[in-house]
Amino acid sequence: MYICPDCKGPLKEFACAHCGVQFASEQGIPDLLSRDPKFASVREISSTYDDIYTRRTQVWEDQGRTPEFIRYFSGLVGSADALLEIGCGEGILLSALPAGHKTAVDISGAALRKAQAASGATCAVALAERLPFADASFDVVVSVGVMEHFLDDKVASAEIRRVLKPQGRYLALIHLRRTTSEKAMQKVREFFFPRPRPIALLRWMFGKVYKPIHQPIQRGYTTESGQQCIESAGLHVDRVISNVTDPSAPLVGPHVVIYVVRK
């Protein structure tokens, strides 16, 4: 089912018939990262995330991946024959998403080993900017908290459009750029008001001291700039969901936005 991420030629035993590149595979998960020098930095970033997922579990627990959110997001996705998650992490969301066949990519092999065990999905180490799949392969593509980390967000958006089937859907959740005071107010809302959550606060503080996560963030968006990036690829944003547009949505705060998109 894979193709070369760079020249898009067919792969036979993970060797490209067109450009001749031989890709590696470890524990059943192929490493299909681009060889394009433009994306050379991804190897170092991949090592950073491998270290995070090797040392930690429930990595994004403090970023709103609650059972309520997972149910809500799964409802937005609906049913699909073929689904791709970009940046699936440990596969917590992927396991719950409704689909006949699930595929996932991440730049961390350590994350994908956990995701594959949890979800039964077909997994590969790959970049959103160089997806190793044929045109029109998926009914639905999802990314949650990943678009901010794309090395080239416009190229990644174009790749997502390419692998979507006609009238396919893309659901992207992003975290907006925030000031220091907005970040502080978010923690007040999260841990103190309207419902005090002292145990959750202690867990969050412990995580900041013991094995803290330092992840490279490429860019910060506004609601408008995120939509512009997606639509620059020829995709159509049908709906923008936030605590402002939908106060009942179980999102961790006003800095979280979901774009419901179609090809």
Average pLDDT over every residue of 123-151? 97
* For the chain, domain boundaries: 36-178+212-262
Gap between the Cα atoms of 173 and 184, Å rounded: 21
Report residue 47's pLDDT band, with 50, 70 and 90 as the boundaries: confident
Nearest to 8 by CA among 109, 136, 107, 169: 136
Q: Which residues pair with 133 in a beta bridge?
A: 2
Is pLDDT at 147 greater than 90 in this prediction? yes
pLDDT, tens digit (0-9, with 9 covering 90-100), for 121-135: 999 999 999 999 999
pLDDT the model gives residue 106: 96
Is-contact 82 141, C-beta < 8 A?
Answer: no
Element (H, E) at 41: none
The CATH code for residues 36-178+212-262 is 3.40.50.150
Q: Are strands 101-106 and 122-125 parallel, antiparallel or unpaired?
A: parallel
Average pLDDT over every residue of 94-118? 95
pLDDT, tens digit (0-9, with 9 covering 90-100), for 175-223: 997 556 655 566 556 667 777 777 766 665 656 555 555 556 668 899 9
Nearest to 224 by CA among 186, 257, 191: 257
- DSSP letter assigned to residue 147: G
DSSP reduced 3-state for 98: coil
pLDDT the model gives residue 204: 53
Is pLDDT at 36 greater than 70 in this prediction? yes
Computed over every residue of the chain, the mean pLDDT equals 88
Query: What secondary structure does DSSP assign to 205-222, as a single string?
Result: HHHHHSS---------B-
Element (H, E) at 200: helix 198-209
